[in-house]
Amino acid sequence: MPPRLFKSQYVDFDLLREPCVLLDAGSRIGEFTIPFLWGRTAHAICVEPYPPANRTLQSLVPESVVTVIEKALWTHGGGSNFRIYEDNLEANSLLPMNRQGKQCRNMYTPTITLDEILAGEEWVDFLKMDIEGAEFAVLSTSESLGEKVGQIAVELHYNLPDGFTMPPEELLDVLAGQGFEGFFKKRTVQHTLLWAGNKKIKNKISG
């Protein structure tokens, strides 16, 4: 069985191929990736702009099963400012989040789009996304989700600058337009956990 830290309720294991591909956007040191790989024939693509986190992940997982992309997931390639919160590295973000009283330092990071990553993959079984506010913009501008991704679990953040957020229900509509059916797993004042599955996923597995 996977370690307990793995939030297995976010994954429908019956819909994963063997071997399978995980795309972990906002992978940090592998808190999601490592348990996902546990006892499974799989490959993980980890997208994380913070170099110390990637060094830790690479020290824990064989290079043969993990590809690290040291960039931030965003709506366009190139680069952008990335905010580092030393007292809470889980809060690192491209966006100027509402972190009252929190000190941060800025770091320039290369950026990459979701479609650029998916262009190099035949199929991604599971997309986990925790990118501290950039998720609305990234998901709503992707054009290849419905053709390339089986399941999505994304943490939606609310404390965002104007223009970077949308009602969770509206994002569900965006995903429905790409062939996904979804629902909310957990809702709190600050976050919502959204899960969505591709309607064509069973055909991909059986085919």
Q: Where are the domains of the chain?
A: 8-206
Mean pLDDT score of the chain: 86
For the domain spanning 8-206, the CATH number is 3.40.50.150
The least confident of 44-48, 128-132, 180-184 is: 180-184
Closest by CA to 90, choosing from 131, 128, 126, 127, is 131
Cβ atoms of residues 15 and 153 within 8 Å: no
If pLDDT is split at 50, 70 and 90, which confidence band does 99 have? Answer: low
Q: What radius of gyration, in Å, describes the C-alpha atoms of the chain?
A: 16
What percent of the chain is helix, strand and coil (3-state, nearest 5)? 30, 30, 40
Q: What is the pLDDT of residue 86?
A: 80
DSSP summary character for residue 93: B
Q: What is the pLDDT of residue 122?
A: 96
As to burial, measured by CB atoms within 10 angstroms (0-12 exposed, 13-18 middle, 19+ buried), residue 87 is exposed
Share of the chain above pLDDT 90, in %: 58
If pLDDT is split at 50, 70 and 90, which confidence band does 187 have? Answer: low
Task: Calculate mean pLDDT across residues 180-205.
Answer: 78
**First-to-last C-alpha distance (Å) of the chain:** 28
Q: Give the integer Cα–Cα distance in Å for 80 and 78.
A: 7
Closest by CA to 198, choosing from 135, 145, 153, 150, is 150
Q: Give the integer Cα–Cα distance in Å for 44 and 42.
A: 7
Q: In angstroms, what CA-CA distances link 22 with 45, 95, 104, 136?
A: 6, 25, 30, 20
Sign for the CA dihedral angle at 26, 30, 33, 36 comes to negative
Give yes or no for residue 51 having a pLDDT over 80: yes
Please give the model's pTM, rounded to 2 decimal places: 0.89
Token pair recorded at residue 143: 């054009």
Residue 133 is which amino acid? Answer: G
Cβ atoms of residues 155 and 184 within 8 Å: no
Token pair recorded at residue 120: 């190099």
Cβ atoms of residues 98 and 77 within 8 Å: no
More confident residue, 29 or 156: 29
